[in-house]
Amino acid sequence: MFSSNRILRNLTVPSFFVLIALSCVHSVHAQTIHLKTETYPPFNMNNEDEKIIGISTEIVETLFERSGVEYTMELLPWQRAFNMALEEQNTAVFSTTRTAEREPKFKWVGPLVQNNWVFLARERNDIEISSLDDAKGLKVGGYQGDAVALFLADQGFDLDLTPHDSLNARKLARDRIDLWATGHLLGPYQASLEGLSGFEPVFTFRETIMAIAMNINTPDEIVDRLNSELQAMRASGVIAEIEARYQ
């Protein structure tokens, strides 16, 4: 019988490096990434069967399957999902707005989708805004821990925060707030789930992208593989097809 040491001694130099490369590929595929997400429709959410769906969810599932990277997926409250990705190896959170403050804390795979930040108002209130300063004299509702709310707080806004963004739709409908700071797709979707309408965007105050925020200790091989495949999906129209299903 041959020992493993003797097999290695008999390998040619090129064969040895091929063996090392194959071992690296195997180690990448063997790792499981634990994906965490939140209820943030229409990007990620549960359906009536408790299956996680949404634009970003479908993009992420397709991405990991095409890349051959094993994964699990769990829907959690936002702050818990975010902290797990921040603290636990082989863990990631999506859909995460990529901000300057968050940039050094994670490794990033993206962009997944664009998510413009807007102020929604009741159509009948005829509110006109042309700058952030115009909104500072109004009562603005936001979602606790959300990047939109954090951005506005940094700009000097005293926000009326809720633990769930859907509550802002009800507050706006009852004139308990003047403006709802939210995503351009998220706000109208949440309002529709509450059976509410008559809201309009009165000002877009930031254009942002959302991505997968991966724990900083995630191997670069996995991050690079996912980013490369995501670019291929976008170029081939796969992402556009997914987005079209939610329009």
Mean pLDDT by 10 residues, the chain (247 residues): 46 47 48 94 90 97 98 96 97 94 97 95 94 96 91 96 93 97 92 94 94 98 98 97 87
Residue 145 has a pLDDT of 85
pLDDT of residue 246: 81
Instruction: Indicate whether this model's pTM tops 0.95.
Output: no
Residue 4 has what pLDDT?
Answer: 44
For residue 165, the model assigns a pLDDT of 86
Half-sphere exposure of 107 (CA within 13 A, CB side): 18
DSSP codes of every residue in 19-62: HHHHHHHHHHHH-EEEEEE--BTTTBEE-TTS-EESHHHHHHHH
Burial of 223 (0-12, 13-18, 19+ CB in 10 A): middle
| pLDDT at res. 91 | 98
Position 30 scores a pLDDT of 66
Question: Could you report how far apart the first and last alpha carbons of the chain are, in Å?
Answer: 64
| Phi, psi (deg, nearest 5) at residue 70 | -70, 145
- Buried/exposed 170-194: b ≥16 CB within 10 Å, e otherwise: bebbeeebbbbbbbebbbbbbbeee
